[in-house]
Amino acid sequence: MNYGKNNRGLETIPLQIVNQSGLDAPLYIWIQGMIPADPPAPPTEYVYVNDLKGNVADTPKNSASTTFSMALPARDTTIQLPRLIALRVYLSFGDQLFTNTSATGNPTAPSGWSKGDPVQGGNYGKLWDYFELTWTRDDPDTTSLGANLTQLDFFGLALQLDNYGFRPDKTQEHLKTGFEGNARSTIFKAIKALPKPWSELVLSGSNPAFPGIPLRTFCPYHGMELGLFPTDQLASYIDRVWTWYAGKQLVVSISGHDYTGSVQAGGPNKGLFVFEPPASSGLKAVMIRNPNSNARPGFVSGSKDVYECQVQLDIVGESTPDALAIARDIGAGFLRSTLAQGVVNGVNLDRLPLCDQTAQYYQHDPINKYAAILHQHAIAQKAYAFGYDDVCEQSSVGITKNPTKLVLTVHPVAG
């Protein structure tokens, strides 16, 4: 492909931003990333896009407070997006976002949940959201643009990404992810109508520039950090899972082979969930402790670890690739509430990862209401509501080969 180039010689494609928010307020965009080195080599260059042509500038080093925001000149604006890796794109209405940078110029990710922070606290009362991109080279003839609309931290704006490109066989491809139409209003109304503690996750209209408009809904673990959500919310379910599999087996398929797990009632591994590999496979058993029993420095609760997708911290012994995959699948099972359910309507749920049983997700108590509602109203029911949502490809990550154009639509904020 014949790509355009920016001031650093980086390839560019059009990024069209269509503002359908309905708000009479300026929309700011902030695009930051890292210049790819072929092959990778230090030092890392942290840059931000500083004009509509896709030109970049180095981020300042040791900055106590800075912004990389640009005001968009129209409701339909096209920016040239340069080929960067680890891209973050932030959108904010009415106000710019601010952050600080390290000695190497690495920006701290803006936070919408750090009320008391001297810099990040200023972002708490603003209306904004973000997504992630990375544009990598596969070989001399092929590049890939990965797009990730994430709600791991919170849901603030209904964003839609249309990612256009060409497969290696030259056929066109178009990936659409995110949310459409009045999804934002629908999602906020649905969460606000839930009983406590779920309804407490909504940060109601605290910005006078947008009266009556909620700013965001937090994920459960940030809700815990803010005192909005109980830190022991999953504790009884975690213990119920451990009790259930003391008498039954959980089979986890990893890389074409099955590990068979059960919670040990006695012996040196008492209380551990031990997964035995196939006989004569040469693989080691995987052992995982009950998340409620972790006692590492900074530990808050097993519930917070499960929501934050930290089950891998409960692996006992070596964190092999298979051990990490088992922990990941268990974590997804907790947040989709398929663990400790047994056979339901003829379907054996005591297997993981259950990629062929997505209809069973969010159907059994305790239901992760945050994730369930986001998935219900997302395009193709794909959302990134927690870190293990990529298990069985349920996240909103999309990768296009040889990208030609990216269209970002900001859908109505109130509806």
pLDDT of residue 41: 65
CA-closest candidate to residue 21, choices 127, 147, 130: 127
Quick: pLDDT tens for 367-404: 999 999 999 999 999 999 999 999 999 999 999 999 99
Q: Residue-wise over 357-386: b if at least 16 C-beta within 10 A, else e?
A: beebbbbbeebbbbbbbbbebbbeebbbbb
Domain boundary assignment for the chain? 12-227+395-410, 235-365
What pTM was computed for the model?
A: 0.95
Q: For residue 35, give the 3-state DSSP assignment.
A: coil
Q: Which amino acid is at 286?
A: V
Q: Which CATH superfamily is domain 12-227+395-410 in?
A: Thaumatin (2.60.110.10)
Tell me the pLDDT band of 415, cut-offs 50, 70 and 90: low
pLDDT at position 206 is 79
Q: Are strands 351-352 and 250-254 parallel, antiparallel or unpaired?
A: parallel
Own/partner long-range contacts of 39-43 (Cβ < 8 Å, ≥24 apart): 43/104
Model pLDDT, residue 169:
82
In the predicted model, is pLDDT for residue 328 greater than 80?
Answer: yes
75, pLDDT greater than 90: yes
Mean pLDDT for 311-331 is: 97
Task: With CA atoms as reference, report the closest residue to 326 among 371, 272, 362.
Answer: 272
Mean pLDDT of 139-155: 95
C-alpha separations of 1 from 4, 141, 144, 175, 401 in Å:
10, 8, 13, 19, 11
| Helix and strand element counts for the chain (H, E) | 6, 25
Residue 353, pLDDT score: 97
For 83-93, what is the mean pLDDT?
Answer: 97
Range from 49-58, 74-83, 165-174 carrying the lowest mean pLDDT:
165-174
pLDDT digits (tens, 9 = 90+) for 219-265: 999 999 999 999 999 999 999 999 999 999 999 999 889 999 999 99
**What percent of the chain clears pLDDT 90, i.e. is strictly above it?**
92
Q: Cα 351 to chain center, whole Å?
A: 25
How far is CA 209 from each of CA 71, 114, 126, 212, rounded to the nearest angstrom?
17, 21, 9, 10
User: How confident is the model at residue 372, as a pLDDT?
Assistant: 98
Quote the pLDDT of residue 382.
97
Q: Where are the alpha helices (DSSP H) in 193-298?
A: 220-225, 235-247
CA distance 321 to 276: 15
- Per-residue confidence (pLDDT) for residue 119, from 0 to 100: 93
**Rounded-to-integer distance, Cα 218 and Cα 151, Å:** 9
Residue 39: is its pLDDT beyond 70?
no
What pLDDT does residue 2 have?
A: 74
Question: pLDDT value at position 199?
Answer: 98
Quick check: 351 pLDDT over 70?
yes
What is the chain's mean pLDDT, rounded?
95
Q: What's the CATH architecture for 235-365?
A: 2-Layer Sandwich (3.30)
Per-residue pLDDT reduced to its tens digit, 186-200: 999 999 999 999 999
pLDDT at 363 over 70: yes
**pLDDT for 251-309, tens place per residue?**
999 988 999 999 999 999 999 999 999 998 899 999 999 999 999 999 999 999 999 99
Mean pLDDT, residues 161-182 taken together: 94
Of 23-37, 40-54, 124-138, 231-245, where does mean pLDDT reach its minimum? Answer: 40-54
Q: Which residues contact 16 (CB under 8 A, 6 or more apart)?
A: 76, 77, 78, 405, 406, 407, 408
Given a contact cutoff of 8 angstroms between Cβ atoms, the answer to whether 82 and 11 are in contact is: yes
